[in-house]
Structure 1
Amino acid sequence: SLQMATATRGGRRDGTIFHSDRGSEYTSEAYSTLCNRLGVVQSMGRVGSALDNAAAESFNSLIKVEYIHRHRFATRTEARLKIATWITGFYNPRRRHSAAGGMPPEEFERIITEARKKSDQRCQAA
């Protein structure tokens, strides 16, 4: 998913922060190497602190309530495909979020990215 996210945003994402829990997949040397290669900074919650991962837990709850529990899937492969399609076709481009001022995630990210570029340009000009 990290490689997919990076690819859809045009490659290296220098300075992007990826926050996760301390699961073995995120603490592995291979994952750390991938993050370094992509320019992604790793951030991990403290051991035993569910609050450090509240945004991810909120997303997991939301996707279960709004999509997974409302559908039946014949196979795991079908479930993966349909869930990924829901995320990329609805959740990211269209679902509004109160934490993003009522904007969908893709729109919010675009606005933040543009604002950062303008800020960087002002700093370089000064």
Structure 2
Amino acid sequence: MVAAALAGETNRAALFLAATAGNVLGAIVNFALGRFLIRFENRRWFPVSATARQRAEALFQRYGQPVLLFSWLPVVGDPLTLAAGLLRTPPTLFLIFVTIGKAARYAAVLWLTP
């Protein structure tokens, strides 16, 4: 995204929307895995380890749904979105918090890109 913004060949608003939408869609996949497919947790292809899931659940239970604002963070973000599914977060609240967090990240990255 930064390379495309620096090249100036793509509208920054389009970059922002594409990056945010793609990242939110990835979070929705993790949410669905937590909600419906956790029985496959021990499979090699499953995106979150049991240890990371347990840490994310502890964070989620301690701070509640607003912790999803930090779903953009590397290492922590995917387990948080999986834990949200496991803990039956209402999908609307999930989408609100995750979208705000991820959109803020990409807005900041584009704002800091000359």
Given the two structures, how large is their TM-score scaled by the length of structure 2? Answer: 0.28
* Greater per-residue helix proportion: 2
Given the two structures, how large is their TM-score scaled by the length of structure 1? Answer: 0.26
CA radius of gyration, larger in = 1
